[in-house]
A and B are shown apart, each in its own frame.
Chain A
Amino acid sequence: MVKYAFFLGCQIPMRLPNIEVATRKVFEKLNVEAVDLLGYSCCPEPVVSRLVDEETALVISARNLTLAEEMGLDMITLCNGCYETLAEANEVLKHDAEKRSKVNEILRKYDREYEGKIDVKHVIEVLYEDIGLKKIKSLVVKPQKMRVALHYGCHLYREYKSADIMRKPRMMREMVEQTGVQVVDYGLERMCCGYPSMQASEEFSLKERLARKLSKVVSAGADAVVTACPACMIQFELGQVMLRAHGVQFNVPCINLMELLALSFGVPSKELLLEFHRSPVLQLIRRLEG
């Protein structure tokens, strides 16, 4: 049994409970014990919070990390943003004694101390490295007969173990390929979905990023986009709704990696809260199930 401290983040429990449900089903099938982190806070957000006040951002991350340290468990994240924030904070605090002592000075007021005892892993790394493709493949009882376009998400390229930024994206692709789908290449896989630039310019984010990607996805003949990140999912789903106000019409389903795995493992679609999607995922799955 693989055991991890489970960091859910903010977007998943608040806005995308379907991802949480699918993940718990997948963990059950794969024998991953995910122990809920009680009392965790926002990771916090990986860029703006650190820009505004790096020390505060580090303290918040460190506090979350100490919760996992107390359990003596490595931490698993589902969100690419949470992954980068927490892995980056862990990296900084493990190697920068000065920052670590400043952070611990503040944490001490709350009877906490960051010790640097645990690692932070993205769920993709855990499933690929701890469970393995063989086991995943052996559990696929309902191959998903669809053509999918992959969107990895920018923070997934953050690397601490290798100079190869494709290490985790490649794991995701190989994992997706086990589920019976056909992965279609559309040429703009690496391009950002536009979620980060949304806070700066809605029009740029939607037209220069999301719409560009979607038009390539559609012309490549994909039935759906598969993403690993909840923020990217919000952009792909809500972004398509917002694009309509700009006179641009797309209707591409966006599925999370965990949902795809759960479906291929034979979890009934009605148990997966697919109605929470703002893109036509439910319709696609119903069509496939005939």
Chain B
Amino acid sequence: MKSNTAEQKVLLYDPTRCTGCLFCQIACSYQHFKEIGLEKTNLRIIFDEKTGEFEAIYCQHCDEPLCVAACPNEAAVKDEVTGLVRINPIRCIGCKTCTVACPLSAPWFNAERRISMKCDFCDGDPKCAKFCSPQAIRVALRKEAWEFNKNRYSGV
């Protein structure tokens, strides 16, 4: 983590609180597409049958985003002040390179619009976090998310 980005806001997911209700996906889908659905959504909750735990696939708005580095048309852009990474829908050519480059495959291909899409942090008020009853997904500082995930994935 870069020292000057520690205070930026990101999303933080704690699987030990998640119930898998998918209100986050429904809220995301409605916010961006005005649809109550599970398909068109910028984050996904999956269930691991082996461990009986949930896991979330969502954008970390990385310090050094691979989607931005890989995008051949400069459609994926990082705002260095807020730290948010967005895909410009006008510049996106729908090549899916960002999906492949992202270690989590957080950007997804919207077949209707023929472009890639990803979390835009709902302009500072992420609806997934707002409607999560147990606060499994919430807004946190990057330094907090870094510590949490480092502990969570150490040894994985």
Listed in ascending order, the chain A residues whose CB lies under 8 Å from chain B are: 46-48, 50-52, 84, 154-159, 165, 187-188, 190-192, 196-197, 199-201, 204, 208-209, 212
Inter-chain contact B30/A191, CB cutoff 8 Å: no
Which chain B positions have C-beta within 8 A of A187?
52
Listed in ascending order, the chain B residues whose CB lies under 8 Å from chain A are: 17-23, 25-27, 29-31, 36-38, 47, 52, 127, 131, 133-135
Which chain B positions have C-beta within 8 A of A48?
26, 30, 36
CB distance from A68 to the nearest CB of B (A): 22
Complex CA distance for A50 and B36, rounded to whole angstroms:
13
Which chain A positions have C-beta within 8 A of B29?
200
Inter-chain contact A50/B38, CB cutoff 8 Å: no
Closest to B16 in A: A190
- Extra contacts, 7 of them, besides A155-B133, A191-B19, A197-B21 (Cβ < 8 A), are A50-B131, A159-B135, A165-B17, A192-B19, A200-B25, A200-B36, A204-B38
Complex CA distance for A159 and B19, rounded to whole angstroms:
15
Give the contacting residue for A200; candidates B26, B133, B135; CB below 8 A.
Answer: B26
Complex CA distance for A154 and B23, rounded to whole angstroms:
10
Residue picked from B21, B131, B134, most chain A C-beta under 10 Å: B21
Listed by A's residue number, 11 A-B pairs whose Cβ atoms lie within 8 Å are A51-B31, A51-B131, A154-B19, A155-B133, A157-B17, A158-B134, A159-B135, A196-B22, A197-B21, A199-B36, A200-B25
CB distance from A69 to the nearest CB of B (A): 25
- A154 touching B133 in the complex, CB below 8 Å, given contacts A51-B127, A192-B21: yes
Complex CA distance for A156 and B38, rounded to whole angstroms:
23
Which chain B positions have C-beta within 8 A of A154?
19, 21, 23, 133-134
Complex CA distance for A200 and B33, rounded to whole angstroms:
13
Closest to A54 in B: B130
Inter-chain contact B19/A47, CB cutoff 8 Å: no
Closest to A165 in B: B134
- A192 touching B22 in the complex, CB below 8 Å, given contacts A52-B30, A199-B36: yes
Complex CA distance for A159 and B136, rounded to whole angstroms:
12
Closest to B28 in A: A51
Closest 7 CB pairs of A and B: A157-B134, A192-B21, A158-B133, A154-B21, A192-B19, A154-B19, A165-B134
CB distance from A195 to the nearest CB of B (A): 8
Inter-chain contact A165/B135, CB cutoff 8 Å: yes
Give the contacting residue for B38; candidates A84, A159, A188, A197; CB below 8 A.
Answer: A197
Complex CA distance for A46 and B131, rounded to whole angstroms:
8
Inter-chain contact B23/A209, CB cutoff 8 Å: no
Give the contacting residue for B19; candidates A51, A157, A204; CB below 8 A.
Answer: A157
Which chain B positions have C-beta within 8 A of A209?
20
Closest to B134 in A: A157
CB distance from A74 to the nearest CB of B (A): 21
